[in-house]
């Protein structure tokens, strides 16, 4: 089977996306890139994530956009995944969700500011892309343009899309952006949230590069 490992990984995270409440029904989509073959494995359109099997995952040529393997209809947002694989060398996996708080914020056409340091997994902040009809090249181009320099973007009146070096990273970014959207929404009901300065967020981005890694540097307490 072509890209067997990638198909299985897409299914694993598709199920996780539903169980974690990051999308509803068959909404949203997930893909992963095989750099060696320049092929992407992406979820099909309109099939329950919990019922997916490897044969349902569609394999698409990144350069041409043509289906290489699979008899299912690929996600309507396949171009929005493909554009990142064509032009962003730091993105090899993409997660698109309709999570509650990120989608709600996208309906205000506002960016997500640095309300919490965890947002640094995506960047200094998360911009909001200009609205376009779902499944169109226009939406793909809007998302790509807005996500320059970050690994997440809100899609106006639609949802969110994230990218990473791995599917695990892209999914982690999705979870943290949704969490920060929730914090931002709640804190706005209490008053005006204090936004972390750009310098602090840039420092957090650097610190996260070594997160979980052993270092010999110790600051005197």
The token duo for 100 is 């509650």
What is the per-residue pLDDT for 211? Answer: 72
Task: Find the catalytic residue in 6, 77, 169, 175.
Answer: 77
Unique residue bearing structure tokens 């393997």? 69
3-state secondary structure the chain: CCCHHHHHHHHHHHHHHHHCCCCCCCCCEEEEEECCCCEEEECECCCCHHHCCHHHCEEEECCCCCEEECCCCECCCHHHHHHHHHHCCCCCEEEEECCHHHHHHHCCCCCECCCCHHHHHCCCCECEECCCCCCCHHHHHHHHHHCCCCCEEEECCCEEEEEECCHHHHHHHHHHHHHHHHHHHHHHHHCCCCCCCHHHHHHHHHHHCCCCCCCCCCCCC
Q: Tell me what pLDDT residue 199 has.
A: 97
pLDDT at 51: 96
The yes-or-no answer on residue 77 being catalytic is yes
Taking residue 108's Cβ as centre, other Cβ atoms within 10 Å add up to 12
In this predicted structure, what is the pLDDT of residue 220?
A: 80
Tokens at residue 68, please?
A: 């290489």
Cβ proximity of 145 and 88 under 8 Å: no
pLDDT at 210: 78
Mean pLDDT split into 10-residue runs, the chain, 221 residues:
96 97 94 98 96 97 97 96 97 98 98 98 98 98 97 98 98 98 97 97 92 64 76
**C-alpha to C-alpha distance for 91 and 116, rounded to whole angstroms:** 24
| Per-residue confidence (pLDDT) for residue 216, from 0 to 100 | 59
Which tokens hold the place of 18?
């539903």
Beta partners for 155? 129, 159
Query: In the chain, what are the domains?
Result: 4-208 (3.40.225.10)
Separation CA 200–CA 59 (nearest Å): 41
Q: Which residues contact 125 (CB under 8 A, 6 or more apart)?
A: 111, 112, 113, 114, 119, 150, 201
Res 1: pLDDT: 87
Cβ neighbours of residue 212 under 8 Å, at least 6 residues apart?
Answer: none
Q: Give residue 221's pLDDT.
A: 76
């Amino acid at each position: 089977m072509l890209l067997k490992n990638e198909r299985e990984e897409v299914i694993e995270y598709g199920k996780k996306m539903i169980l974690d409440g990051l999308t509803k029904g068959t909404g949203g989509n997930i893909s992963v890139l095989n750099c060696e073959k320049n092929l992407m494995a992406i979820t099909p359109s309109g099939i329950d994530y919990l019922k997916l099997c490897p044969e349902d995952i569609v394999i698409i040529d990144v350069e041409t956009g043509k289906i290489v393997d699979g008899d299912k209809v690929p996600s309507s947002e396949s171009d929005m995944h493909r554009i990142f694989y064509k032009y962003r060398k730091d993105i090899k996996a993409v997660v698109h969700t309709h999570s509650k708080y990120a989608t709600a914020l996208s309906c205000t056409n506002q960016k997500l500011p640095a309300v919490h340091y965890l947002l640094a997994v995506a960047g200094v902040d998360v911009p909001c892309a200009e609205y376009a009809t779902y499944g169109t090249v226009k939406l793909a181009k809007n998302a790509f343009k807005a996500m320059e320099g970050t690994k997440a973007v809100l899609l106006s009146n639609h949802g969110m899309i994230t990218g990473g070096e791995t599917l695990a990273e892209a999914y982690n970014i999705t979870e943290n952006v949704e969490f920060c959207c929730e914090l931002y929404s709640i804190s706005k009901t209490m008053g005006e949230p204090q936004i972390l300065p750009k310098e602090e967020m840039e420092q957090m981005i650097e610190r996260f590069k070594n997160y979980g890694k052993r270092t010999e540097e110790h600051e005197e307490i």
